[in-house]
Amino acid sequence: MSKVRSALIALTALALASTSANAGGPRSIKDDPYSGINWSGFYVGIQGGYGWGDTDHLVFTSPPQPMNGGLFGVTVGVNWQRGYVVYGLEGDFSVSDLEAEFSSFRAFTQVRNLSTARARLGYAMDKALVYVTGGFAYGNVRAGVHEDLVPSVDFQGDDRGRFGWTLGGGIEWAFAPRWSVKAEYLRVDLGADINYSAVVLVNPPVRDRVSVDAAADIVRIGLNYNFRP
């Protein structure tokens, strides 16, 4: 009996000690403060990648054509951090050779440069940051018809600045105190706009205003330097 009493006393003491240690109630993520690296601060970087999509010259009876090419440019941004949550703003500018050729009537589309201005929202896991991003896109679109190859068309092409939208996500990895690499996907849509007019040399001549649309999926990698304290 004394052994049972001793065991009960020991169990009671253990339970009381456990209760005292957990007097604050069940632990949650708020009780476990973030202890990883600090992602806050301004940063600059370089990035490059590849894009693929489609384009259409809407006045012609031809299906959309595939458009692809590379991009390379610079990035600037700023992050703020509250616990595991990282949020910020990022902008970039890239030169581009995204282009497409329409074999049926020798038209072409070229995206000569591309810029984005985006918000980012991410979740920090120490050296890794997973994020979604979205915002505005701006690109210079050149489109027209190769007049030397289509003698029946009097070509009047144009370079046109085009606003659109972008949405995507990525992952960033801090491999040194101020350096990080990232892999990112963006969907960019520059919409449809009048880019040029063409006079079809029939009798009588007919002038058509040609609306050109352009959209692409872009995968790129980047290298950033962070100026955090």
Residue-wise pLDDT tens digits, 117-129: 999 999 999 999 9
pLDDT at residue 145 in the model: 76
In a domain, 14, yes or no: no
> 28 vs 56, which has greater pLDDT?
56
Q: What is the pLDDT of residues 165-208, one digit of tens each?
A: 999 999 999 999 899 999 999 999 998 877 776 665 555 555 66
Q: What's the rounded Cα separation, in Å, for the pair 138 and 158?
A: 16
pLDDT at residue 65 in the model: 82
Answer whether residue 144 shows pLDDT above 50.
yes
In a domain, 202, yes or no: yes
| Structural domain harbouring 198 | 40-226
In a domain, 194, yes or no: yes
Q: For residue 130, how far is the Cα from the chain centroid?
A: 13
In a domain, 193, yes or no: yes
Domain count of the chain? 1
Selection from 133, 145, 223, 227 nearest residue 185 by Cα? 133
Selection from 176, 172, 179 nearest residue 133 by Cα? 172
> 72 vs 209, which has greater pLDDT?
72
Answer whether residue 131 shows pLDDT above 60.
yes
Q: For residue 229, how far is the Cα from the chain centroid?
A: 26
Task: Please give the C-alpha separations between residue 208 and each of 101, 140, 154, in angstroms, as whole numbers.
Answer: 19, 22, 11
Answer whether residue 213 shows pLDDT above 50.
yes
Q: For residue 202, how far is the Cα from the chain centroid?
A: 46
In a domain, 2, yes or no: no
Place of tokens 């959209």: 215
Answer whether residue 87 shows pLDDT above 60.
yes
Q: What is the pLDDT of residues 9-47, one digit of tens each?
A: 443 443 344 334 444 443 333 344 677 889 999 999 999
CATH of the domain at 199: 2.40.160.20
In a domain, 23, yes or no: no
In a domain, 19, yes or no: no
Local confidence band at 142 (pLDDT 50, 70, 90 cut-offs):
confident
Place of tokens 């990895």: 173
Q: Mean pLDDT, to the nearest integer, of 60-88?
A: 90
In a domain, 179, yes or no: yes
